[in-house]
Structure 1
Amino acid sequence: MRPTARGRVAARSVPIAVLALLTALAGWLPSAAAAADGTDGKSQAWSVQPTDKGSGAARRLAFQLDAPPGAVIRDSVRISNLSTEPISFQVYGADAYNTPRDGGLAYRQAGEAQHDVGAWVQLRTNAMVIPERRAADIPFTVTVPEDATPGTHTGGVIALDNALRGAGTTDSGVDVSIQRAIAVRLELTVSGPRTPGLSVTGVRLDQTPGGAPFEAGRATVQYTVTNTGNTPVQGKAAIEVTGLFGHTVATRTRSLPLILPGQHTELTLDAGRSPPVDLLTAKVTVTGTGAPATTARVHRLALSWPTLASVAVAAALLAVGLSQLRRRRRTLALEHA
């Protein structure tokens, strides 16, 4: 099965265990499910989704809630054991966050401190064993603090399979086990004004020079995007690299991941070919729905050592040639004196 979001890795025991978070994000999949083969060859398949609200109600793909500060919301999550053996689960609420390097959406583990909506979720039970081919609905409440900030708070209700499933042996001979979890996304919008905003900082321009004299190099632009507002924003980044006299070296446009309020992520983009020697300027402009555009830039002297070495050798040869020419002229002048 293809995971629906980036996994998280954590050491649990020896042999090594990998914690894989498979998430169901709003509108992406009709349900979230995980499957693994146990050591006895049986399949441990299970799913997690919001409990149906009754006949005639639309099927929910995620928890999308609205409430004022101080409100208490009641809901329920359904865990279905689709396998042929009982499965023991740990169930908890978790904050969502953007991964630092690529902006992927992830959820905090059960042992981590939850500071936002993950801490507001209280389940009737945090542990249960579901028999084979059975499902269980777990009620929970979301208690919104009186001082909760307006805007969207994103987290998830997570079911973690307590068992470590064998995943094989690595090339180095280490046994690897897998522990799987599924998160159903929870978006709680607290009443109040919405203020979307993005900022871009920390722009860095790196150049990998070509291997031969006067060969073009490759330019890479890194930058950090921060959500400065109170609602998730997905936008675009326009990157322009120019040379000393304003000539365009490269232009790129890329979509940004969904960035949660207060979160930031560092992104990298290959800007393509760059001159072997030049004074480069990289400008990054970030825009998002409802958010004003923001721009940051950086300057970088691009140097290709093979090119500089060739220029230095040529200059040295020219200097030697000119010196010999001047010496010859002085000699001819003395002979004709």
Structure 2
Amino acid sequence: MTSHSAAAVLLVVVLTALLASLPAGSSSATAARGAGAGGAGAGSSAWSVRPAGTADRTAFVMDSAPGAIVRDAVRVSNLSDAPLSFQVYGSDAYNTPRDGALAYRQAGEAQTGLGGWLALGTNALVIPPGRAADIPFTLSVPADAPPGSHVGGIVALNNAVEQAGGASGVDVGIQRAIAVRIQLTVEGPLTPGVAVRSVRVRHRPAGTPFGGARAILTYTVVNTGNAALRPTVSPRVSGLFGLRQSAFADRTLPLLLPGQSADLTVDWPQAPGTDYLTASVRVTAPGLPATSAQSGRVVVSWPTLGAVAGLLAVLAVALGRFRGKRSRGAIPHTGVLS
């Protein structure tokens, strides 16, 4: 490492939770060197994590009473041609604020939810190439656990550190991990709810007169209940009297956990430069009535207004000169005596 290099360790979690945000029946994710989430790699670091037992389970979906103990097992498979060493741990799930993606906390972070209720048969293992290991675990539900959805996962972190970024002068060590989702519903009253808040429009007019503009709609979707949901949002932006309307596609979010939120944006590159824009977002979720929020604002293209003001000033001066010439060239009226 040179004196101009910096050392960093980046934990990249390639999440089975990404698949957990899809309907049941999706295949499990596989992490691989040089491959993205969900892609099976041909390199020496490909593996998978899924519930042990029947192949039709892609995630742990459980129901339990407060104070109960749930037992199951997770399977970690080495799909490569070399031994792999893993750290395995329970983790709390959360939604990333930026787009609501489901993510898991790292091993060194405090696990205050379902991740802290898990006890694994082992937290470290080495799996020979082409083999799999089943790890039993217990999930001890606290007696005072509130009713509703509790989501976490079991993470298998590959102990190997991959080197990257040398060409840029920064040395980066990357560790990859895969998690399998655990979705526990604690018995008791379920009160699902979802809301949309903070609907705003940012307006960026073109730098030339009479050019278009770019509008960016931002809003926040919040799970206000105690049940995990997959809400669908329908954003819209329209001009005065609805003469100009955006064409945004509906979007279904990943699993949104109780108390969590997602900050979302949509781009309208062909927005009007000067108008009154009304932004609205409608959100629906299975079993819930639709809810919506909206806001409005006047948007102005200052280059356009400046050009119009300049044109009006020129016209005013020209009109004044024209009237002046007419008044100077007029023939005076003289009376005729009879």
Moved more, 270-279 or 323-332: 323-332
**Partner of 1:20 in structure 2?**
12
Change in Cα spacing, 1:252 to 1:34, as seen in structure 2 (3 Å) is closer
CA contact (8 A) 1:238 1:251 kept: no
Please report how far the alpha carbon of residue 224 of structure 1 lies from its aligned counterpart in structure 2 after TM superposition: 0.5
**Partner of 1:45 in structure 2?**
46
Aligned equivalents of 1:165 and 1:272: distance in 2? 39
CA contact (8 A) 1:151 1:190 kept: yes
CA contact (8 A) 2:234 2:283 kept: yes
**Partner of 2:232 in structure 1?**
236
> Are 1:81 and 2:78 an aligned pair?
yes
Aligned equivalents of 2:204 and 2:232: distance in 1? 26
**Greater C-alpha Rg:** 2
How big is each residue's C-alpha offset from its partner over 1:89-148, in whole Å with a ceiling of 9 and x where there is no partner? 111111111111112111111111222211111112222333444432221111111222
> Are 1:91 and 2:102 an aligned pair?
no
RMSD: 2.6
**Partner of 1:215 in structure 2?**
211
**Partner of 1:271 in structure 2?**
268
Paired amino acid for 2:199: V
TM-score normalized with structure 2 length: 0.84
> Are 1:119 and 2:108 an aligned pair?
no
Change in Cα spacing, 1:14 to 1:135, as seen in structure 2 (3 Å) is farther
**Partner of 1:102 in structure 2?**
99
**Partner of 1:198 in structure 2?**
194
Aligned equivalents of 1:311 and 1:215: distance in 2? 13
Paired amino acid for 2:251: S
Matches within 5 A, 1:1-337: 15-24=7-16, 25-26=19-20, 27=24, 29-36=26-33, 43-52=44-53, 57=54, 59-167=56-164, 169-170=166-167, 172-258=168-254, 259-332=256-329
The runs of 5 or more residues in structure 2 that have no matched partner are: 35-41
Aligned equivalents of 2:298 and 2:210: distance in 1? 15
CA contact (8 A) 2:25 2:57 kept: no
Change in Cα spacing, 1:271 to 1:90, as seen in structure 2 (3 Å) is same
The runs of 5 or more residues in structure 1 that have no matched partner are: 1-12
Change in Cα spacing, 1:58 to 1:159, as seen in structure 2 (3 Å) is closer
Please report how far the alpha carbon of residue 202 of structure 1 lies from its aligned counterpart in structure 2 after TM superposition: 0.8
Q: Identity over aligned residues, as a percent?
A: 53
Please report how far the alpha carbon of residue 71 of structure 1 lies from its aligned counterpart in structure 2 after TM superposition: 0.8
Moved over 4 A (4+): 333-337
Equivalent position SS for 2:313:
helix
CA contact (8 A) 2:32 2:43 kept: no
Count of residues in correspondence between the two structures:
317
Please report how far the alpha carbon of residue 263 of structure 1 lies from its aligned counterpart in structure 2 after TM superposition: 0.9
Change in Cα spacing, 1:79 to 1:211, as seen in structure 2 (3 Å) is same
Aligned equivalents of 1:182 and 1:86: distance in 2? 17
Please report how far the alpha carbon of residue 195 of structure 1 lies from its aligned counterpart in structure 2 after TM superposition: 2.4
CA contact (8 A) 2:6 2:169 kept: no
Moved more, 310-319 or 228-237: 228-237
Please report how far the alpha carbon of residue 60 of structure 1 lies from its aligned counterpart in structure 2 after TM superposition: 2.0
Change in Cα spacing, 1:86 to 1:58, as seen in structure 2 (3 Å) is closer
Aligned equivalents of 1:34 and 1:70: distance in 2? 35
Equivalent position SS for 2:10:
strand
How big is each residue's C-alpha offset from its partner over 1:228-263, in whole Å with a ceiling of 9 and x where there is no partner? 122222232223323334534325341131222211
Paired amino acid for 1:65: M
CA contact (8 A) 1:156 1:185 kept: yes
Bigger strand fraction: 1
Moved more, 122-131 or 24-33: 24-33
TM-score normalized with structure 1 length: 0.85
CA contact (8 A) 1:249 1:273 kept: no
Aligned equivalents of 1:101 and 1:291: distance in 2? 24
Equivalent position SS for 1:44:
coil
